[in-house]
């Protein structure tokens, strides 16, 4: 019986093939993780799984007969429980309408943890990792959004600084234009002033002509 056949065998009891496949995967995953971590998984009536360390040793190649050194390693080991042994040997009959190996009581796993508890812990760890990834992605997105906002704020500040400078430039230009106009007006008034003096100089000439006419009239009377 392979894994697929095992799933089919328990599908009716678990309400469907998918539920059976999930259950088998969860049980096997819990056993493997516990054994790799150095724990001993014991199921009453069925057997126990454990990790065994093998020291370095010499062995022989079965094909050539050459002596080969084998490195230190660790291997998994399964030991069948007494109930399993009795059923296989025939000393006990296999029940027809009941489970052959009774459910393991609480605390039968080493450390007092069951496969269901370990599965729940694994799910929690996966959920925490997913949440951490989401928060990291959210922080990156926020940082990306903040950078353009900072750039726009800096651009606005630069524009605001440039605006007073432009205003100052226009005010200075206006002042220079007013100064130029004032200078031009002064020059024109200065040029017109001598004309008045000339008229003032010509006025005595009229007076002299008037004196001459009066003198002529007086001589004629005489």
Per-residue pLDDT of the chain (222 residues; tens, 9 = 90+): 999 999 999 999 888 999 999 999 999 999 999 999 999 999 998 999 999 999 999 999 999 999 999 999 999 999 999 999 999 999 888 888 778 776 555 554 444 444 444 555 566 567 667 767 777 777 777 666 655 555 666 667 766 666 554 555 565 566 666 667 666 555 555 455 444 444 444 445 455 555 666 666 666 665
Task: Please tell me the predicted confidence (pLDDT) of residue 22.
Answer: 94
Kindly list the strands in the beta sheet with 73-80, ordered across the sheet, starting from the edge strand earlier in the chain: 41-43, 47-54, 73-80
- Which residues of the chain form beta strands (DSSP E)? 41-43, 47-54, 57-60, 67-70, 73-80
Distance (Å, rounded) from C-alpha 179 to C-alpha 206? 42
Query: 209 to each of 16, 57, 206, how far by Cα in Å?
Result: 144, 154, 5
Record: fold of 3-130: HU Protein; Chain A (4.10.520)
Task: Please tell me the predicted confidence (pLDDT) of residue 166.
Answer: 53
Task: Please tell me the predicted confidence (pLDDT) of residue 108.
Answer: 46
Distance (Å, rounded) from C-alpha 97 to C-alpha 211? 165
Cβ neighbours, 10 Å, residue 8 = 14
Of residues 102, 105, 76, 77, the one with CA closest to residue 87: 102
> Which residues have C-beta within 8 Å of that of residue 132, sequence separation ≥ 6?
none
167 phi, psi to nearest 5 deg:
-60, -45
Distance (Å, rounded) from C-alpha 9 to C-alpha 99? 13
Task: Please tell me the predicted confidence (pLDDT) of residue 30.
Answer: 95
Task: Please tell me the predicted confidence (pLDDT) of residue 195.
Answer: 42
DSSP string, 27-61: HHHHHHHHHHTT--EEETTTEEEEEEEE--EEEE-
């Amino acid at each position: 019986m392979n894994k697929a056949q095992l799933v089919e065998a328990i599908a009716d009891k678990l309400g469907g093939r998918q539920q059976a496949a999930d259950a088998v995967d969860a049980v096997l995953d819990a056993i493997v993780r516990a054994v790799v971590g150095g724990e001993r998984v014991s199921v009453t009536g069925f057997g126990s799984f454990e990790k065994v360390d093998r020291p370095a040793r010499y062995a022989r190649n079965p094909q050539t007969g050459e002596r080969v050194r084998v490195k230190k390693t660790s291997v998994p080991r399964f030991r069948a429980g007494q109930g399993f042994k009795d059923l296989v040997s025939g000393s006990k009959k296999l029940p027809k309408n009941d489970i052959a190996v009774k459910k393991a009581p609480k605390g039968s796993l080493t450390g007092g943890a069951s496969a269901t508890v370990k599965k729940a812990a694994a799910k929690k760890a996966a959920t925490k990792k997913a949440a951490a990834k989401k928060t990291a992605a959210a922080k990156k997105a926020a940082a990306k959004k903040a950078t353009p906002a900072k750039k726009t704020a800096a651009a606005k500040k630069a524009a605001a600084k440039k605006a007073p400078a432009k205003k100052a430039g226009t005010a200075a230009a206006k002042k220079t234009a007013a100064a130029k106009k004032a200078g031009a007006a002064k020059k024109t008034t200065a040029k017109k002033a001598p004309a008045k003096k000339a008229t003032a100089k010509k006025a005595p000439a009229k007076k002299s002509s008037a004196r001459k006419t009066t003198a002529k009239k007086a001589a004629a009377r005489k």
